[in-house]
Amino acid sequence: MENWKWKFGCAIVALLALYVVSSARAEEGTSPPHPNDLMGSAQTYTTVADDTLMKVAIDHNLGLIELLAANPGVDPWFPGNDRVLKLPTMHLLPPGPRKGIVVNLPEQRLYHFNSNGATQSYPVAVGRGICDLKPGAVKVTRRRRQPSWRPSAKLRAVRPDLPKIVPPGPRNPLGKYALDLDLKGALIHGSTRPFTDKSDQTQGCIRLYPEHMATLYQSSRKGTLVTVLDQPVKLGWADGELYMEVHPSLEHTKSINTLRQRRAQRIPGLDARLAEVAGADTDRIDRALVRKIVREGSGLPVKITKPRPKPKVKKIRSLFGN
């Protein structure tokens, strides 16, 4: 009789354990894991005596503005010897549909989401002389190899030495490849010097390093969607933790020069965005750290969630005593 009771008790315990495990799996299935929105890896560089931040940016295929933002307090012309610089080589993917080409203006960076699932990211310089890009969606209307350049009438009035058409060659600022967009004066092209201390005042549109433009040209097609964003703040998940990335807004870009005092920027609706993206993990957000990231505007992704509290373990009394 005692043997029968013992076997019956074991069966009940097994059924209860199976129910608990099944319920836990069902509960896990209702909350899919967060996606991995982080690409690249953090890197540093130690300067040598003749370095400038422009030289470091060119040598590492980075944008000048993003390198300045990541290293506040560093003299761009005389950073000094043996100074460790943070390289902006890790990024959160931009918000919205991940399709085609996405250009985030405050970030001065382009993302290309290929149809095969691969994603490339390139620094860009966006000129404000001819093409004043606004947030929205356009398409690639033409792909040009060895493009000719037609200076605008406004530019030729300032530079009468320019011809109506500049053929391919060393005097052509469009480089070897160009993507025309369905917006007057807007195109994406390569440039031997896309980043200068006055790159936002030049007559180009969206400029890339020549090697980056060659890759983008080969992997893009006519009709490719090009989405322009104005998002100084990006939020994203990686390994179950929420990250935040803050860039200088367009109106604060001019104060990014580290020889001047940076202007603090306000980000309307940030709390609502944090709550929307964090969801059930909103209480894990480190608010003091968020304020610090906004104040610095370094453009580097930073983890803003605190560790999850350890689950409390309840002791269950045995059905059959000890």
Closest by CA position to 133, among listed 178, 186, 188: 186
Q: CA distances (Å), 285 to each of 179, 248, 276, 298, in order?
A: 41, 22, 12, 19
pLDDT of residue 150: 86
What's the CA angle centered on 45, arms 39 and 47, to 5 degrees?
A: 155
Q: Where are the domains of the chain?
A: 99-230, 233-303
* pTM given for the model: 0.81
Residues 6+ away with beta carbon under 8 Å from 130:
152, 154, 155, 185, 203, 204, 205
Distance separating alpha carbons of residues 106 and 66, to the nearest angstrom: 10
Which CATH code for domain 99-230? Answer: 2.40.440.10
**Torsions phi, psi of 295, nearest 5?**
-65, -40
Q: How far apart are the first and last CA of the chain?
A: 19
Q: How many CB atoms lie within 10 A of CB 53?
A: 22
pLDDT in tens for each of the 322 residues of the chain?
555 555 545 554 444 444 433 333 333 323 345 679 999 999 999 999 999 999 999 999 999 999 999 999 899 999 999 999 999 999 999 998 899 999 999 999 999 999 888 999 999 998 765 566 788 999 999 999 999 988 878 778 888 888 888 899 888 889 999 999 998 778 999 987 777 644 444 455 899 999 999 999 999 999 999 999 999 999 999 999 999 999 987 666 655 554 455 666 788 899 999 999 999 999 999 999 999 999 999 999 999 999 988 877 766 665 555 5
